[in-house]
């Protein structure tokens, strides 16, 4: 890849090899689609003279399909590398610290998977002691469920501590009710669908690139006490539905070619609809910070199921896709004790409080706590690309 | 209520006391909002000279809030009762058999509850033999989960038999894969949200009328073999997400005043957020027909949880509502053997095939089968009002 004429600070998550898409509002302007480069965002509607980008959502562009996504990426690379374009383009670069960033896409349906073996086994041990930590189907299909699309919020949105029922303290007692005292995070990776599909027609696993536009980070805030009391037999509901934070930047799949890796070895023969020709494991490294302190480093390459397998599974029954459908990986956890993507796991259900370098300890989140998730991945030509943070601070219960 | 000048056939589900809303497309015209009266639909955009109704969705009107809903209902009653309006209004009545009916609203999130004690106990006995049929929280909160909003389809849409994984036949065997052989129905009642709410602020149980616009019928098609293999621990996913059929007509809450009844006696003291000042049990009677034969008659008044309680529970954690949010009751079953709203229950998991009057028998659905759910309720002044059918036919697997 060529060199860009834009000054990209050393260590920026947004070198030329990345070019993630987001929605920004410049001072005195309307929300529109931009591409991040270094410390700037490029106003696409202006430089491409295309109204598709003059919206507060990526959906109109994502709906145009993969050929158009490639064409636009190539055009942006040309504009940012050829000095001849600089005089026309430079006026449409806005400093990131001078614009407001928003929700990058308009969500249709939201599905959350459970694709980390280490996370599923950890949670199984804590929620269902005495049973096998993994349920019998776990290595035959990527388990998932629908979440609440209406409470997907962009990074930076404060999270009000939810209230709800909690398991009764003893036989015959009424359930507890009040603010959650086991408020947690789940560090995840999310996939945004661009190209829709027809009802009744499964999407083949090898068509992943045709449908998925890009990747962003997710914090699936979880109230463990509410979840633990409600979730049998129909799954998590209010323990998750109060807020799910989504990153401002959607990294296009094309920027992640160098990050593709084989997923872990399969323990069973897979049904053909889950067998990939291409490897769609992704070698992303996530970092979780609590009040600024690094508390976990998470290897996304350790996920048992790939996003291509998730997509194939989600549609194998003929369920259709819409532009804006969003699905997340589930908590990313690795085998190590500092590779766990939730406080539930890091503090082992509260039994082993996490000590922070400033001397404070945490089992679950306290009011005022701020959690930030970032990630990096190998990009083209040896570059390191980043996802931009997904962050949120806990407000006291209403 | 006054008499209407429109000829309403005897036994019509749509007398003046009903006035349900739907979306219709007349020959040569665009989709728009109408109100059903007898064998006709009234073009609201035309007679009220209001563009809010010139859309293929009720959402813009529903978003205007309860005062406006009451105003429009009163205006429609005036137009249909005062002979003085007849010359201006009559040209905008279209025969129902000459128009196409569509999806009445644009769905935001979709939640499915599990509010019938009889249904939950029947399913518990079959899915979890040896355990208590009801899980410990069942009578403390209305259990629910999010479904796929993108596969809500209007009545009449054919349903392609889904394929998926099924539980392995024995220890060490791979899961089965293929078209579902336990394809089922769930006869339910659905509630459409009009007025949104703010993130972080629960909706009080007594504000039900302020937020819920109306009621329609639902068939939550279910592939029991897919569901049984996938659903622990995160709940139903592909066993439900291939299609959920929704009635063409949304009966406004105001038409259901006479149907309000007390729900069954509570077994436990309820948490205050679930205690209703008004009774929102609803005395609807559903009928399920398979290939034209009545197979079940379902008493909605037997539901343990009311739709007002469902709404309060769904938002008690601060989850926000959007216009177009839709939530369904879960399968309506009563105590009787002919009061079961799914084939799973009617055939007791396939062990007791249902005999139809034409000599055919069914455990689960066969290709070509057509299922139709209807319902009636007491209306004002001794009238009987109806919901219009929700119907669908099974197509062979793709």
Domain hosting residue A82, numbered range: 21-101
The answer to whether the CB atoms of B318 and A150 lie below 8 A apart is no
- Residue A127's pLDDT is what? 80
- Residue A171's pLDDT is what? 83
Instruction: Check if A3 is active-site.
Output: no
The answer to whether the CB atoms of B398 and A114 lie below 8 A apart is no
Mutate to test the interface with B, among A150, A228, A274 (most CBs of B within 10 A): A150
- Nearest chain B residue to A108, by CA: B150
Cross-strand partners of A327: A111, A191
Question: Are residue A38 and residue A127 in the same domain, yes or no?
Answer: no
* B225 has pLDDT over 80: yes
Question: Are residue B264 and residue B219 in the same domain, yes or no?
Answer: yes
Q: Render pLDDT for A352-382 as a digit per residue (tens, 0 to 9).
A: 999 999 999 999 999 999 999 999 999 999 9
Would you say residue A8 lies in a domain?
no
Using the CB atoms, write b or e for B49-82: b if 16+ within 10 Å: eeebbebbbbbbbbbbbbeebeebbeebbebbbe
Given A64, A83, A101, the domain boundary residue is: A101
Provide the mean pLDDT of chain B. Answer: 97
- Residue B1's pLDDT is what? 53
Helices (H), chain B: 44-48, 59-62, 66-81, 86-89, 117-127, 208-211, 224-230, 307-315, 343-346
Question: Are residue B78 and residue B162 in the same domain, yes or no?
Answer: no
Please confirm whether the linkage preceding B233 is cis (ω < 30° from 0).
yes
At residue A5, φ and ψ (nearest 5 deg) are: -80, -10
Mean pLDDT value across residues B141-149:
98
- B112, B115, B116, B119 alpha-carbon torsion, rounded to 10°: 50
* A315 has pLDDT over 70: yes
> How many angstroms away from the CA of A252 is the closest CA of chain B?
24
CATH number at residue B66: 2.30.30.230
- Please classify residue B121 by burial: count the beta carbons closer than 10 Å to its beta carbon, then call 0-12 exposed, 13-18 middle and 19+ buried: middle
Question: Are residue B35 and residue B126 in the same domain, yes or no?
Answer: no
Q: How many percent of chain B have pLDDT more than 70?
A: 99
**Closest by alpha carbon to A305, among A287, A340, A331, A342?**
A331
Dist CA B113 CA B208 (whole Å): 16
Question: Are residue A119 and residue A64 in the same domain, yes or no?
Answer: no
The answer to whether the CB atoms of A163 and B231 lie below 8 A apart is no
The model's confidence at residue B116, banded by pLDDT at 50, 70 and 90, is very high
Contacts of B150 in chain A (CB under 8 A): 108-109, 319-322, 325
- Residue B32's pLDDT is what? 98
Question: Are residue B84 and residue B129 in the same domain, yes or no?
Answer: no
Given B39, B68, B101, the domain boundary residue is: B101
The answer to whether the CB atoms of B143 and A398 lie below 8 A apart is no
**One-character DSSP codes across B171-228:** TTPPPEEEE-SSEE--EEEEEEE-S---TT-PPPGGGHHHHEEEEEEEE--EEHHHHH
* Active-site residue, from B40, B92, B94, B119: B119
Helices (H), B337-387: 343-346
Dist CA A240 CA A220 (whole Å): 7
Would you say residue A12 lies in a domain?
no
Dist CA A384 CA B208 (whole Å): 52
- Residue A359's pLDDT is what? 94
Dist CA B253 CA A240 (whole Å): 30
Q: Render pLDDT for B11-66 as a digit per residue (tens, 0 to 9).
A: 999 999 999 999 999 999 999 999 999 999 999 999 999 999 999 999 999 999 99
Question: Are residue B279 and residue B299 in the same domain, yes or no?
Answer: yes
Chain B, window 316-335: residues with a beta carbon less than 8 angstroms from a chain A beta carbon: 316-322, 325
- Residue B157's pLDDT is what? 98
The model's confidence at residue A47, banded by pLDDT at 50, 70 and 90, is very high
> How many angstroms away from the CA of A190 is the closest CA of chain B?
17
Mutate to test the interface with B, among A237, A392, A395 (most CBs of B within 10 A): A237
Instruction: Answer yes or no: is the ipTM higher than 0.90.
Output: yes
Would you say residue B8 lies in a domain?
no
Element (H, E) at A68: helix A66-81
For residue B285, what are its two tokens?
């009677």
Q: How many percent of chain A have pLDDT more than 90?
A: 96
**Closest by alpha carbon to A341, among A186, A113, A222?**
A186
CATH number at residue A169: 3.90.850.10
* Active-site residue, from A40, A94, A118, A119: A119
* B329 has pLDDT over 90: yes
Question: Are residue A204 and residue A224 in the same domain, yes or no?
Answer: yes
Question: Are residue A117 and residue A96 in the same domain, yes or no?
Answer: no
Contacts of B128 in chain A (CB under 8 A): 233
Question: Are residue A306 and residue A361 in the same domain, yes or no?
Answer: yes
| 8 A C-beta contact, residue B327 and residue B311 | yes
The answer to whether the CB atoms of A109 and B150 lie below 8 A apart is yes
> How many angstroms away from the CA of A210 is the closest CA of chain B?
19
> How many angstroms away from the CA of B97 is the closest CA of chain A?
27
Mutate to test the interface with A, among B132, B136, B150 (most CBs of A within 10 A): B150
Would you say residue A15 lies in a domain?
no
Helix and strand numbers, DSSP H then E, in chain A: 9, 27
Q: How many percent of chain A have pLDDT more than 70?
A: 99
The answer to whether the CB atoms of B271 and A177 lie below 8 A apart is yes
The answer to whether the CB atoms of A237 and B135 lie below 8 A apart is no
User: Tokens 């799910």 map to which residue?
Assistant: A244
* A157 has pLDDT over 60: yes
Given A72, A101, A130, the domain boundary residue is: A101
The answer to whether the CB atoms of A199 and B153 lie below 8 A apart is yes
Would you say residue B9 lies in a domain?
no
Q: Render pLDDT for A248-304 as a digit per residue (tens, 0 to 9).
A: 999 999 999 999 999 999 999 999 999 999 999 999 999 999 999 999 999 999 999
Would you say residue A257 lies in a domain?
yes
Cβ–Cβ contact A202 with B under 8 A: yes
Domain count, chain A: 2
Question: Are residue B175 and residue B124 in the same domain, yes or no?
Answer: yes
Dist CA A210 CA A40 (whole Å): 29
Would you say residue A33 lies in a domain?
yes
Dist CA A341 CA A327 (whole Å): 17
Would you say residue A250 lies in a domain?
yes
Question: Are residue B287 and residue B344 in the same domain, yes or no?
Answer: yes
């Amino acid at each position: 890849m060529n060199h860009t004429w834009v000054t990209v600070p050393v260590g920026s998550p947004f070198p030329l090899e990345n070019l993630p898409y987001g929605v920004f509002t410049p001072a005195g302007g309307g929300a529109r689609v931009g591409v991040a480069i270094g410390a700037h965002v490029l106003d696409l509607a202006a430089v491409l003279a295309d109204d598709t980008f003059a919206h507060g959502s990526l959906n109109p562009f994502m709906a145009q399909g993969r050929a158009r996504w490639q064409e636009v990426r190539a055009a942006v690379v040309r504009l940012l590398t050829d000095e001849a374009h600089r005089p026309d383009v430079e006026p449409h670069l806005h400093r990131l610290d001078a614009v407001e960033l928003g929700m990058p896409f308009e969500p249709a349906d939201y599905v959350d998977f459970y694709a980390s073996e280490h996370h599923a086994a950890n949670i199984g041990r804590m929620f269902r002691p005495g049973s096998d930590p993994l349920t019998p189907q776990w290595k035959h299909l990527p388990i998932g469920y629908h979440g609440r699309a209406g409470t997907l919020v962009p990074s930076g949105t404060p999270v009000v501590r939810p209230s709800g029922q909690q398991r009764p303290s003893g036989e015959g007692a009424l359930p507890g009710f009040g603010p959650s005292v086991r408020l947690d995070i789940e560090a995840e990776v999310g996939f945004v669908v661009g190209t829709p599909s027809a009802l009744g027609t499964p999407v083949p696993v090898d068509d992943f690139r045709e449908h998925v536009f890009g990747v962003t980070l997710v914090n699936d805030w979880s109230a463990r006490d509410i979840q633990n009391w409600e979730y049998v037999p129909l799954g998590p509901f209010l323990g998750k539905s109060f807020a799910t934070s989504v990153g401002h930047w959607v990294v296009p799949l094309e920027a992640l070619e160098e990050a593709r890796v084989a997923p872990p070895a399969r323990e069973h023969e897979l049904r053909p609809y889950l067998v990939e020709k291409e490897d769609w494991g992704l070698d992303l490294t996530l970092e979780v910070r609590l009040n600024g302190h690094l508390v976990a480093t998470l290897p996304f390459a350790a996920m048992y199921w790939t996003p291509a397998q998730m997509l194939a599974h989600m549609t194998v029954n003929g369920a259709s896709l819409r532009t804006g459908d969003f699905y997340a990986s589930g908590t990313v956890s690795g085998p190590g004790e500092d590779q766990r993507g939730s406080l539930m796991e890091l503090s082992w259900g509260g039994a082993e409080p996490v000590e922070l370098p400033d001397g404070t300890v945490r089992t679950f989140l306290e009011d005022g706590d701020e959690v930030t998730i970032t990630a990096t991945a190998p990009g083209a030509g040896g570059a390191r690309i980043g996802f931009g943070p997904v962050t949120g601070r806990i407000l006291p219960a209403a």
